[in-house]
Amino acid sequence: MSGPEPLFAGVELGGTKCIAVIARDRQILERAHWPTGDDPTVTLAAIADWLTEQTRRYAVAALGIASFGPIGLARGSETYGTILDTPKPGWSGADVVATLSRGFAGPVGFDTDVAAAALAEGRWGASVGCAVHAYITIGTGIGAGIVIAGHPHRGIHHPEIGHVPVRRQLGDSFSGVCPIHGDCLEGLASGPAIAARAGRPAQDLAQDHPIWDAVIDEIADMLSSLILTLSPQRIVIGGGVGYGQAWLLPRLHLAVARTLNGYLPAHSRAALSDLIVAPSLGADAGVYGSVALAILEQETLP
């Protein structure tokens, strides 16, 4: 007779808020949150103290950490477990894994917040049963998590789909807000980019505001490229802009269908509405993702 399911600790580091949980599978037993201040030593120390307290109360099998990026993922390298050169003030070089796993003897999983969200949707949400799937977050930034055969995809670095170039509408002279590339996808269609183009935040714009035509075409261009190169079975659209504007999905389906122009039966308008979907886990996809990282780390132990 098997014993009780193991417990896992998860931490989601976001650009504005950090969340830590103790969970048994998808059931969250304890939860705490902190603002993501400009001094990572203060924020990470507070989370580490909470984790230490919880691991005294609970027998935690593994820890998962889902972080905003870019982050170092090459185990054994001097940058593993750290935040790389990030626009988040004060956080470049922060040693996330070493600080948060202080005193914890179990395995630790570490990945981007969006890769973790993709993993969670594949385990418990909209991408269950899919061997190849993606999670796209459209908000303060634009990022992608790609899961293949139950594992987040990474090569020399994690996917950075927000920085791909996309086609511009004829006559569009907006220079973009990305400090690195200017008018990459993130520079054109992220929350700050939309606000800069329209003069007010995305959530305050009417559905028929002309800015949406350009933004939808730019996002659809990226989605079409992703569909043609990755051949995913599901693409989940999250984030404050993506998940926060429910009416956006049907328009994205139409724009992607128009871009793909009927190429292959899987790209029909009806098929795309089943391929490109909203997250089942809602705003909690990231924190569930941190738990999923912990579970995956335990499952893949030799």
Based on the fold, state whether residues 216 and 75 are members of the same structural domain: no
Same domain, 134 and 155: yes
* 3-class DSSP state of 67: strand
Q: Which domain holds residue 52?
A: 7-113+283-299
pLDDT of residue 170: 83
Measured distance CA(197)–CA(193) in Å, rounded: 6
pLDDT tens-digit profile of 242-280? 777 888 999 999 999 999 998 888 788 889 999 999 999
Global pTM reads 0.93
Residues 141 and 259 in one domain: yes
25's torsion region: left (phi>0), alpha (psi -120 to 50) or beta? left
Say if 274 falls within a structural domain: yes
Name 82's bridge partners. 95
Residue 290 and residue 169 in one domain? no
1 in a domain, yes or no? no
- Quote the number of domains for the chain: 2
CA dist., res. 198 & res. 205, Å (int) = 8
| In a shared domain, residues 108 and 189 | no
Residues 142 and 237 in one domain: yes
Whether residues 258 and 156 fall in one domain: yes
Q: Is residue 217 part of a domain?
A: yes
Please check whether residues 18 and 131 belong to one and the same domain.
Answer: no
For 171-187, write each residue's pLDDT tens digit: 888 999 998 898 999 99
- The CATH number of residue 192's host domain is 3.30.420.40
**E strands of 115-274, at which residues?**
132-138, 142-148, 151-152, 234-238
The answer to whether 249 and 278 have CB atoms below 8 angstroms apart is yes
Beta strands per DSSP E along 161-297: 234-238, 276-277
